[in-house]
Chains A and B, each alone.
Chain A
Amino acid sequence: MIMEHQVGRENRLVIAHMYFATIALMVGASFGLLQALSRAQWAAAPAWFDYYRMLTAHGVLNAIVFTTFFICGLATLLTYRAIPRERSLWIGWLAFWVMAISSIMAALSILRGNATVLYTFYAPLKASPWFYIGTTLLVVGTWIVMIDLIQNALWFWRNHPGERLPLVVHGSLTTFVMWFIATIGVAIEMLVFLIPWSLGLVPKVNVMFTRVLFWYFGHPLVYFWIMGAYLIWYNLVPRFYGGKVFSDALTRLAFILLLLLSTPVGLHHQFMEPGISPGWKWLHTMTTFGVVIPSILTAFAIFASFELAAQRAGVKGFAATIAWLPWKNPAFTGPALGMILFIFGGLGGVINASYAMDTIVHNTMWIVGHFHVTVGGPVALSFLGAAYWIIPRLTGRRLWAPNLALAQTYTWFVGMAIMSTAMHWAGILGSPRRTDNVTYLGAAAASSWMPQMHWAAIGGTILFMSILMFVAVAIGTLFTPKTQMDPILPAPVEDEALATPAVLDRIGTWAVVAIVLAVLAYAGPIHELLTMHTYGAAGMRTW
């Protein structure tokens, strides 16, 4: 039995991650609200703090800092609990502080107006070196988290010969290995191109090359978020209705497939760009459809788990099963409402990936609607829901105002549904994304999308209130009386007829396969760019 103080020390590390994530979400979302209001012409960004500075802060804080801190905390927590032992936490804290300091570094350079380059930092827009160094160190911090997970897995294999790696450790580690392979792209972009260039050591930059490296990372970034949500959907959610993980083998298979298929797809973000032959774009379209498979497996596993648990409780039929689920437990409603939003997110994604349709929606508000209904909806809402279960078990205090927490999950769902529907619609009408309020001198097209911008602002306001509710509950839960809480354990797994194939645990081997696939998918376009006669571009500060 491991000592209680060990668990307490581990809990403090995870609390630090979760509250840092909460602060990033809160600050980032206030900018989101201001953007939504200014695009509806209900408020204007003050001259000293322009729209694009807010948009950069919103993208970086919400999509990068909030998600990364939450996922690092979650993977660490699940791994530590599945492998209880006396362990040193210096590596965990090292990762936390590297990530925290580097995020603050990047955030300050954005807020001071020295990095208004949006979270995609497309060259030759040239930000302050602090921004590039900060974001690079944030990535390095996540690599330290991965090393910690690897160490724990190795310890487990050494001390439990012949046993299967616990399911949550398998999922967490696979997620971070995928992330590592993906972030190599952005690390090269930063270290070889952008940092030397922003420091003035190199005069020019090959713009297309940096874009290909960015999107090599940019798409798997999305899957990093989604794998974080899947960790919750597979392993925690069944707890909330007394169910079990549907299948050990299927869960491991889904994570391994995500590891393999997340990277060789990035060019689907570059359909509309010169410098890349249509053949390569086509290849990446095909692989993009492959990534749908693990998501379909997941949808299937979730429903199967619902159904088996309901049957054990004597409930039969689809509608009765759905009604039987705990719709009054915020830890359940968060992820479950997120899953509903994900159905729309998935359909929209398949549309974006076909380039005939992408010509209509590329860089319009449709895309903004799409990622709010994927990362902003399913992922963020699953994280918040899970936090309602995790945080009280970390602090040893009961959840403050559970009804407020419940209301938070529903208001988020409603706000997100309104905001993203309006954004999708505005996008079809041609409204560009990443654009301050403008009427284009009263052009007819611009007035056609204005009503949708009003709806987006209404949805955005509801969403912002929802975030305030979450923050209130998160703070309140630091002050409720101490109580005895049940431990943080993932849901048990259904008994299975077939044993999980051992090969699914060979994460190292799969990582090699994933790298080979990435190389196959990128060797062509990169060779093409390297052999083309190209010209560099000088950096510019256009804000």
Chain B
Amino acid sequence: MTAGVITLIVFLCILGVAALHDNIVPPSHLQTIDPAQVSQTPPFDKPGLRKTGPKQYEAYLVAHIFAFTPESITVPAGSTVTFYATSPDVVHGFFIAGTAINMMVVPGWVSDDSHTFTKSGTYLLLCNEYCGSGHHFMYGKIVVQ
């Protein structure tokens, strides 16, 4: 009983702090897009990486059955990358193992979230929502140099 109440209070506190700290907001983008027109709609007609400032990037990815386009992205260590993703077919996941980038990609909407890659290495990008028979072959990589 006491243990239960204490855990509850502890978690409420963590949560309260997390919420006030403006970095921790879940990916909740409200932009919509016609899934049938993804390949004609800028910027997803030319998916890829755009440099927006010193160590600042925007990455536009299309998650489709059963791959990410582009399949690989390379940025220098210390870069902050904002990922934008959408799907022309079914729901996919967009998860970069070892980071807090973990979003659902829903046809009809654009998802976004950003992350600063401080350590160099190759990060595994994978689909973590079932999307069909080839779901487990759907992955890519983020190379941080």
Contact = CB atoms under 8 A, between A and B. Distances in A.
Contact of B106 (A52, A273, A296, A536): A273
Given A207-B91, A350-B7, A360-B102, A543 B15 contact: no
Contacts of A534: 32, 108
Interface stretch (B22-30, B43-51, B53-61, B73-81): B22-30
Contacts of B33: 535
A542 B89 contact: yes
B139 interface: yes
Interface size for chain A: under 10, 10 to 19, 20 to 34, or 35 or more residues? Answer: 35 or more
B124 A445 contact: yes
Contacts of B11: 289, 350-351, 354
Contact of B32 (A303, A435, A443, A533): A533
A542 B102 contact: no
A125 interface: yes
Contact of B1 (A271, A296, A350, A438): A296
A543 B106 contact: no
B109 A275 contact: yes
A281 B103 CA distance: 14
B17 to A, nearest CB: 9
A114 interface: no
Contacts of A438: 136-137
A122 interface: yes
A443 B130 contact: no
A542 B65 contact: yes
Contacts of A434: 128-130, 135
B89 A124 contact: yes
A52 B91 CA distance: 15
Interface size for chain B: under 10, 10 to 19, 20 to 34, or 35 or more residues? Answer: 35 or more
Contacts of A435: 128, 130, 135-136
Nearest to A445: B97
Contact of A540 (B90, B102, B103, B111): B90
Contacts of A275: 28-30, 32, 106, 109
B8 A437 contact: no
A543 B133 CA distance: 5
B124 A446 contact: yes
B133 A50 contact: yes
B136 A363 contact: no
A211 B104 CA distance: 12
A535 B35 contact: yes
A300 to B, nearest CB: 5
Contacts of A303: 1
Q: Which 9 A-B pairs have the closest CB atoms?
A: A542-B132, A430-B97, A432-B128, A274-B109, A438-B136, A445-B97, A363-B128, A537-B107, A359-B100
Interface of B: 1, 4-5, 7-8, 11-12, 14-15, 18-19, 24-36, 65, 89-91, 93, 95, 97-98, 100-104, 106-112, 122, 124, 126-137, 139, 141
Given A273-B104, A356-B14, A436-B136, 19 more contacts: A55-B130, A122-B91, A207-B109, A274-B103, A274-B110, A282-B19, A292-B8, A296-B5, A354-B11, A360-B100, A363-B95, A429-B97, A435-B135, A437-B136, A443-B124, A443-B141, A445-B97, A535-B33, A540-B90
